[in-house]
Structure 1
């Protein structure tokens, strides 16, 4: 008997932000675990690259801008039913608080907070979540570990943490579950674009495990929360930081 409680075989999983970074890695690893995937993003060529990287069959890509009601409706309409959702789309515009403006703050909140909240609302309203569905939200240790110039991002992730707890209560009639993954630095394109690379290297040297996370390692945690292995886990804020907040 080939028993694997972490298998996603027979499950349909929706992954946002799947065109790059953690979202792309999560899509690939979930497909390896046997899931059928619906992946979404705004960058058509990069999302197509992710789709072509997925092992197995029965996957589809949906180009949708989730910062608009039209995009959310388009994605919702493309889904019959889903057993799991991984909300990976995110952006970080670092700025000192004295330099924050309404336009940039709106952009950060649109992508990091409003989009996942309104997408989940749409999926619930249109009964797209299967019984026992699992929702995984990508948060960050930034929600409670302060860093200068990271106010907008930290605020958006703190809100996601709070929202996830309420969502966990409200989908109990479905026997559904909601959990947040809170990574520290992950080796993604977003990190590589950070202007002060010397600062990044200094931070890397301070991690007790001696390195940043790989996107695949975050994906493995998502697989756990999506799988039947975590059927008794909900409302969790799961830290993945290489020991960074131990200090």
Structure 2
């Protein structure tokens, strides 16, 4: 059976590291991106140079019509989806809640929550044995912030990831009869350009001494956990979370 994976927010960081591992494991991969077409195309060429089947598709996962177009492109170019990694996410600058405007909160929840829900919905329509599929696996990229709260910095982001956690638990139970497993990873301080969005690009270096392990994490360390959750070795694992946070 062919293995087809969609990685949202796949042109950078954890998503890009997951794409490289997925190609090595024989998946055909769709890299979804929002703005950075050059980074997505560069990664696609790298994956193809490794002998993999890869495409890059622009879509705003917070808009369901875009998600429908994204999945249709996968259907046409790669075949029926068997694995989904919900890696797309955004965050605002550090702020207390009373200073956050509605545009920021809407953007965070549209991408982090609605985007995950929309992509899960359309993945189910491809994977579920109730819809002619052969099953599959979904991994949601949550955050250690969902259990820490991010007080005084990003409580909106933390709350959005809390919603992702609840979705993971509920869908794992709902989709077990459909032969679909749903799990999540909770990264902590990982060295990616995601922190540029928060206005603090050196955040990992500033805070890593506080971590029990004493260093920030690498994208490939999160990707390894994602790929394990998607693979046969985790066939009895659903509704679970892997903390990739250096003991935080």
Superposition TM-score, scaled by structure 2 size: 0.88
Structure 1, residues 24-83: CA drift from partner, whole Å, max 9, x if none?
111111112221112211222111111112122322222212222221110121233111
> Number of matched residues?
235
| 1:201 equivalent in alignment to 2:193 | no
- Structure 1 position 201, deviation (Å): 3.4
2:51: which partner in 1? 56
State the secondary structure of the residue aligned to 1:179: strand
State the secondary structure of the residue aligned to 2:135: strand
State the secondary structure of the residue aligned to 2:186: strand
Work out whether residues 183 and 229 of structure 2, in 8 Å CA contact, stay in contact via their aligned partners in 1.
yes
Once the two structures are superposed, the pairs formed by residues 64-75 of structure 1 within 5 Å of their partners are 64-75=59-70
State the secondary structure of the residue aligned to 1:135: strand
CA distance in 1, matches of 2:197, 2:62: 23
Higher helix share: 2
* Distance of aligned partners of 1:138 and 1:178 in 2 relative to their CA distance in 1, 3 Å threshold: same
| 1:190 equivalent in alignment to 2:194 | yes
- Structure 1 position 123, deviation (Å): 2.8
2:15: which partner in 1? 23
1:221: which partner in 2? 225
State the secondary structure of the residue aligned to 1:187: coil
Q: Which moved more, 1:197-206 or 1:114-123?
A: 197-206
After superposition, the CA RMSD in angstroms is 1.8
State the secondary structure of the residue aligned to 2:90: coil
Q: Paired residue for 1:38, among 26, 30, 41?
A: 30
Q: Which moved more, 1:217-226 or 1:44-53?
A: 44-53
CA distance in 1, matches of 2:190, 2:202: 16
Work out whether residues 96 and 149 of structure 1, in 8 Å CA contact, stay in contact via their aligned partners in 2.
yes
